[in-house]
Structure 1
Amino acid sequence: MSIRRIESGPRMSQAVIHGHTVYLAGQVGAPGESVAAQTKAILAAIDQLLAKAGSAKSKILQAIIWLDDMANFAEMNAVWDAWVDPANTPARATGEAKLAGPEYKVEIIVTAALD
């Protein structure tokens, strides 16, 4: 079974397709922006990467969301709820983690189907 990589670099690829599954790298927004602004930017990046892979948000199987502080859960969810396809919500987990730097407040990782 072939493997296709999208936006590959020396350390990682932004997306990897294996079989009928698309795996996205963790996406982050602009450093220092609000939780809502970072979440909007992340979801736009996810839309773009899924389109490049031949998928869409309606085909997301799983989402893993990391917040720098669970106090930001409602702010992130307000943006997520406006974006997610309500007829095709994925399995999802949200947790608190120390992200790559203090300027990052949200990181989202998704896995999606191609068909």
Structure 2
Amino acid sequence: MTVSFNHTIIAAKDRHESAKFYRDIFGLPEALSWGPFINIQLDDGVLLQFAEPPVEIQMQHYAFLVDDDRFDRAYTWLQENGVEHWADPQRQRPNETNTEHGGRGVYFMDPAGHGLEIITRPYF
């Protein structure tokens, strides 16, 4: 059997709000949810499960590789919804995208304070 990534739990202050944020950015439909999880399924079958843990949430970083059309859609959504975003992880280039690694990229925060990155080309 090969090794592939199947799912992860993303800590959220409001699991419904966070799941909707990701669905809106990426244009994804709702997925079957159960128990303490609100789920989103990515195009490759990976499941993102949003839950509200009874602990302080520590920031995590999640990077998503998308095609150019989905990047354009997501970036337009960020702009239209007033989401702060940067071309760099140090947040020195606000309201820009980058063209590193032969593609485009952008950084922003989700409602729970996690750092998100969208790129159109993998780093390696």
Q: Which has the higher contact order (CA 8 A, sep 6+)?
A: 1
Q: Based on CA coordinates, which of the two structures has the bigger radius of gyration? A: 2
Which structure carries more helix by proportion? Answer: 1
Q: TM-score range by the shorter chain?
A: 0.3 to 0.5
Instruction: Report the TM-score, using the length of structure 1 for normalisation.
Output: 0.32
TM-score by length of structure 2 reads 0.30
